[in-house]
């Protein structure tokens, strides 16, 4: 309550930290609903899990956009729908001027050379029956790039690029540690020289000591190769460290989006405030006085979201209008977007 009131007072325009160019990815009205079917033989669609329910955002060339939110809020589905690993229910995804949602077959395959993914679980993302060399060169083989020898050379280059000994090329994934496997996953993603990479919680399955290594690797690669990242995570302090902008998702929708410093110092949406209040502060004096906002209840089922604002079942500051109308994502400060009736 008080937080919201306070933040309204400090609503002064923040200085734009970075000059953004043209968007590399433009998402408009993106929805992904997974049908729930019932019936024995003639199945009818009786309901839908609204994993992603209307997203609008841009990702600018060379930036890292963080996507945070609790488990099951649709972060990963968003990433995969952008890559067309799931086909969108409605909405558009524009990548470097090409509309992806209607692409099929070979033209889609060509576009996929420019966008790749790094997965969360380094144990599930590498085929245990293939050698590292075959895993990394598979995209090259599929696209018919280079001769066998060229590809082998490229694999060695890539391994070196991600900080692994090229000598490892003929080994199998089970011979590597989690951090090493994640590096192999990065090497595979880089094989086709993409411009855009979805990092689907790339560090949350790793030990803390290894997390920093992988994050540093990702940042080095971004600097050297001009990559654009969509960085999906739930570790808020890591997101603050590496992202230029951050979008907060709740139940399939973006509730707040801003540059990361702005979002962390001036969170406007009550959900963002609750999330940030849960981050421990590495300063004993501050940590002692840290006030946690504890949300009541669980995430509602995305198959049956609440009427009005999605967050109204758990919101500490909800008012009548929140139960009637779904708030729109509005730019309340330059570059700072919020979907909350109490703010706008």
Q: How far apart are the first and last CA of the chain?
A: 15
Q: Residue 43 Cβ, how far from another protein at the closest point, in Å?
A: 9
Instruction: Judge contact between 274 and 94, C-beta under 8 A.
Output: no
Q: Which two tokens stand for residue 64?
A: 């890292």
89 vs 180 by CB, closer to another protein: 180
Give the shortest CB-171-to-another protein separation in angstroms: 8
Q: List 327's β-bridge partners, or say none.
A: none
Among residues 46 and 344, whose Cβ is nearest to another protein? 46
Contacts of 196 (CB under 8 A, 6+ apart): 24, 25, 59, 95, 114, 115, 116, 227, 228, 229, 230
3-state secondary structure of 105: helix
**Residue closer to another protein, measured from CB, 112 or 314:** 112
The distance of closest approach from Cβ of residue 47 to another protein in the complex, given in angstroms and rounded to an integer, is 19
Q: Which distant-in-sequence residues (6+ apart) come within 8 Å of 85 by Cβ?
A: 117
Give the distance, in angstroms, between the CA of residue 210 and the centroid of all CA atoms in the same chain.
20
143: number of Cβ within 10 Å: 14
Q: Which is nearer to another protein, 61 or 113 (CB)?
A: 113
Cβ closest to another protein, residue 85 vs residue 294: 85
Sheet holding 115-118, edge to edge: 115-118, 196-200, 228-233, 64-68, 245-250, 253-259, 336-338, 330-333
Nearer to another protein, 143 or 240 (CB): 143
* Interacting residues toward another protein by CB under 8 A: 41, 80, 83, 85, 109, 112-113, 115-117, 119-121, 124-129, 138-139, 142-143, 165, 167-168, 172, 174-180, 185, 188, 191-192, 207, 209-210
For residue 159, what are its two tokens?
Answer: 């391994």
């Amino acid at each position: 309550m008080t937080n919201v009131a306070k933040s309204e007072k400090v609503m002064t325009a923040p200085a734009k930290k970075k000059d953004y160019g043209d968007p590399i990815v433009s998402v408009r009205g993106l929805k992904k609903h997974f049908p729930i079917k019932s019936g024995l033989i003639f199945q009818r669609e009786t309901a839908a899990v609204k994993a992603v329910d209307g997203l609008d955002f841009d990702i600018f060339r060379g930036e890292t956009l963080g996507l945070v939110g609790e488990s099951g809020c649709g972060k990963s589905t968003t990433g995969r729908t952008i890559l067309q690993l799931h086909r969108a229910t409605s909405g558009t995804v524009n990548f470097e001027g090409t509309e992806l949602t209607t692409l099929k077959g070979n033209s889609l395959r060509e576009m996929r050379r420019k966008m790749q993914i790094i997965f969360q679980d380094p144990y599930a993302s590498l085929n245990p029956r293939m050698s590292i060399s075959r895993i990394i060169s598979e995209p090259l083989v599929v696209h018919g790039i280079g001769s066998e020898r060229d590809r082998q050379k490229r694999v060695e280059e890539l391994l070196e690029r991600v900080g692994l000994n090229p000598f490892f090329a003929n080994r199998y994934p089970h011979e590597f540690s989690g951090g090493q496997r994640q590096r192999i996953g990065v090497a595979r993603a880089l094989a086709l020289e993409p411009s855009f990479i979805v990092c689907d919680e790339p560090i949350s399955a790793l030990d803390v000591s290894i997390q920093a290594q992988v994050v540093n690797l990702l940042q080095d690669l971004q600097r050297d190769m001009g990559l654009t990242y969509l960085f999906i995570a739930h570790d808020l302090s890591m997101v603050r460290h590496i992202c230029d902008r951050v979008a907060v998702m709740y139940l399939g929708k973006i509730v707040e989006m801003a540059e990361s410093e702005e979002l962390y110092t001036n969170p406007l949406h009550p959900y963002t405030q609750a999330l940030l209040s849960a981050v421990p502060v590495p300063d004993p004096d501050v940590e002692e006085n840290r006030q946690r906002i504890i949300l009541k209840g669980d995430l509602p089922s995305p198959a049956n979201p609440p009427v009005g604002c999605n967050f109204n079942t758990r919101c500490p500051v909800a008012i009548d209008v929140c139960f009637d109308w779904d708030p729109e994502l509005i730019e309340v400060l330059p570059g700072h977007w919020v979907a909350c009736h109490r703010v706008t």
